[in-house]
Amino acid sequence: MEEILIELRNISKQFPGVLANDNINLEIKKGEIHAIVGENGAGKSTLMNILYGLHEPTAGEIYFKGNPVRFTSPLDAIKLGIGMVHQHFMLVPSFTVAENIVLGIEPKRKKFLVDREKAIKETKELSQTYGLAVDPEIKVESLSVGIQQRVEILKALYKGADVLILDEPTAVLTPQETAELFKVIRKLVDELGKTIIIITHKLQEVLAISTRVSVMRQGKLVGTLDTKDANEHLLAEMMVGREVLFDKLEKKPTEKNEVLKVNGLRAKDNRGLLALKDISFSLKSGEILGIAGIEGNGQSELVEVLAGLRKKDGGEFYINGVEASDKSPREIRKLGIAHVPEDRLAMGLSTEASIAENMLMGSQYDEPYRMKGIHLNKLKIKEMSKKLIKEFDIRTPSEETLAGNLSGGNMQKVVIAREFSFNTPILIISQPTRGVDIGAIEFIHTQIIEKRNEGCAILLISAELDEIFRLSDRIMTIYEGRITGEFDAGQITRQEIGLYMTGKNMNSSEEGA
């Protein structure tokens, strides 16, 4: 019989106005890879933060190896061998790998001085033991995201972790880095007897790596099942509470005409460094061109230049043959580009304005919403808002509700409804489903495909490779501000595209350029 290592009994956690965990009973078996999935706000991270001692439960008990335990801080969990690697790494960039790994429990010489040589030696030994190759003496700030994650895992193992909680561990990894991480996880479990708990929303990865999977919905545990008995559709249905029709997107043949031409575009980032280096491509009507790349490689700057929000430093772009490089955002919209920004809170909407006011943004100077002088036609604005609320399934009691009172998914629908309603020939869509639930993802994807089928040209920027592959007709890869590849969607695999996303396909002369 498999040993029950951790048992959560009747765990509840109440925050002001929110019951994050509602009477949860969960068992973690020794030596398993246990995935915990659920929509945003389902309570999965809160539950794991309770297990790691970051939160104390409002009610319920934790048992470790059959004995009741109480965690008042992460130190209590660490003492029992429970470690956690957070989605946003907690490393000191200016420290070396070894300094980060031993931080807080540094080996000493002469009682007071940090024994740097011993720290390096212990890091090397730890790295070899667990098959996690790192250079102990290199500074963390110069490492790739995948290697930084290794450092976080080694840091937890150095503290004696036998149970590792990984929070969204593949969120910023390439397919190659994800495959490497999965090899490490399997070795930790199969050869070294560790127990792994993974919090994730990527159902394909759950099926690929886990032994068992627990599904949470609205603070409750819906069920736990052996992964071999699960599939993506079943897990999605358990998460949402209804059938999710992910495979029903139908792309129709469309007439292809060039509507956006980009030539040698160059632009600097906010630090004054060149972020776009001679970017050239074209976009045609009735197609989705997906841009795949690790975040921070020029995608944001490209979108901002095309939307008129950032000045270029060279090159130009044309909208339906009209040079638009130095136009204002309003002029660019009139020429034919609407823009769904990557950060809905910072740029997409005003949380202090009503849904109707947010829907009006960009149309406030246009008929039929503008009357004579400075007056607005409130009746037409209300009619338009009600129509879009219904069409885009925005869950709200009224168009007068403040946007800030909506869920993240419904905020995103407000932004998409507004931008789609301009009926421009070109749509630039950044991170369309970031932070939204599976049900909203399904709806948003359907709306994007409908726009494409109507003949709209769509430039799609997403950190989710599954989203890029699912929606795109063509895929373009970007690395350090350069285009590294361009493919029809069916021409390249997820594994192959990772090479282009990290510049591994480039020859030495290109890398030195």
Q: Tell me the residue range of the domain where 109 lies.
A: 4-240
Provide the pLDDT for residue 10.
97
Q: Are residues 230 and 113 in the same domain?
A: yes
Q: What mean pLDDT is predicted for residues 125-133? A: 88
Average pLDDT over residues 266-284: 94
Is the per-residue pLDDT at 45 higher than 90? no
204 and 274: one domain? no
Global pTM? Answer: 0.74
Q: Same structural domain for residues 233 and 264?
A: no
CB 349 within 8 A of CB 411: yes
Q: Pick from 219, 217, 215: which is nearest to 229 by CA?
A: 215
Q: What is the mean pLDDT of the chain?
A: 89
Cis ω for the linkage preceding 175 (within 30 of 0): no
How large is the average pLDDT for residues 260-265?
97
Please tell me the distance from the alpha carbon of residue 275 to that of residue 302, in angstroms, as a whole number. Answer: 9
Query: Crossing angle for the helix pair 175-190 and 145-158, nearest 10 degrees?
Result: 20
Q: Are residues 230 and 268 in the same domain?
A: no
Q: Are residues 105 and 171 both part of a single domain?
A: yes
Asked if residue 416 has pLDDT above 90, the reply is yes
Q: Specify the range with the lowest mean pLDDT, choosing from 94-98, 115-119, 240-244.
A: 240-244
Grade residue 89 by pLDDT with cuts at 50, 70 and 90.
Answer: confident
Query: Which of 197, 212, 240 is where one domain is finished?
Result: 240
The DSSP result for 404-468, as a single string, is GGS-HHHHHHHHHHHHHHT--SEEEEESTTTT--HHHHHHHHHHHHHHHHTT-EEEEE-S-HHHH
Most confident of 38-47, 85-94, 192-201, 357-366: 192-201
370 located within any domain: no
- Are residues 353 and 402 in contact, defined by beta-carbon separation less than 8 angstroms? yes
| Number of domains composing the chain | 2
DSSP collapsed to 3 states, 180-210: HHHHHHHHHHHCCCCEEEEEECCHHHHHHHC
The answer to the question of residue 360 being in a domain is no
Whether the predicted pLDDT of 507 surpasses 60: no
**pLDDT beyond 60 at 509:** no
Q: Which domain-ending residue is among 209, 240, 271?
A: 240
pLDDT of residue 506: 58
Task: Please give the Cα distance from 163 to 147 (Å, whole number).
Answer: 21
Question: What proportion of the chain, given as a percentage, has pLDDT over 90?
Answer: 58
pLDDT at 513: 36
Q: Which amino acid makes up residue 82? A: I
> Reduced to 3 states, what is the DSSP secondary structure of residue 429?
strand
Would 8 be classed as within a structural domain? yes
Residue-wise pLDDT tens digits, 424-473: 999 999 999 877 777 788 888 999 999 999 999 999 999 888 899 999 99
Instruction: Look at residue 510 in the predicted model and tell me its pLDDT.
Output: 42
Tell me what pLDDT residue 374 has.
65
Quick one: angle between helices 175-190 and 116-130, nearest 10? 90
Q: How many CB atoms lie within 10 A of CB 119?
A: 23
Segment 11-32 mean pLDDT: 93
Whether the predicted pLDDT of 412 surpasses 60:
yes
Q: Are residues 263 and 195 in the same domain?
A: no
pLDDT at 508: 37
Whether residue 511 is predicted with pLDDT greater than 60 in this model: the reply is no
- At 377 the pLDDT is 76
Q: What band does 177 get if pLDDT is binned at 50, 70 and 90?
A: confident
CATH code (residue 464): 3.40.50.300
pLDDT confidence of residue 455: 95
Residue-level pLDDT at 131: 82
Average pLDDT for 354-382: 77
Kindly state whether residues 215 and 289 are assigned to the same domain.
no
Q: Count CB-CB contacts under 10 A for residue 341.
A: 21
Question: Among the residues of 368-437, which ranges form H helices?
Answer: 378-391, 408-421
Do 206 and 82 share a structural domain?
yes
Q: Which two tokens stand for residue 369?
A: 């919403």
Instruction: For residue 219, tell me if it sits in a domain.
Output: yes
Quick one: 230 and 291 in the same domain? no
Distance CA 86, CA 153 (A): 10
Residue 283 lies in a domain: yes
Answer whether residue 388 is part of any domain.
no
| Residue 423 maps to a domain | yes
Quick: pLDDT tens for 200-253: 878 888 999 999 999 999 899 999 999 999 998 899 889 888 777 666 678 888
- Is 382 within a domain? no
pLDDT in tens, 368-379: 667 666 677 788
Q: Quote the percentage of the chain above a pLDDT of 70.
A: 96
Same domain membership, residue 297 and residue 202: no
Average of per-residue pLDDT across 112-141 = 90
Answer with the one of 213, 240, 267 that is the final residue of a domain.
240
Residue 109, CA atoms < 13 Å, CB-side half-sphere = 6
224 and 123 share a domain? Answer: yes
Residues 303 and 415 in one domain: yes
In the structure encoding, which two tokens stand for residue 453, read together? 């089928």
3-state secondary structure of 89: coil
pLDDT at 125: 93
pLDDT at 393: 85
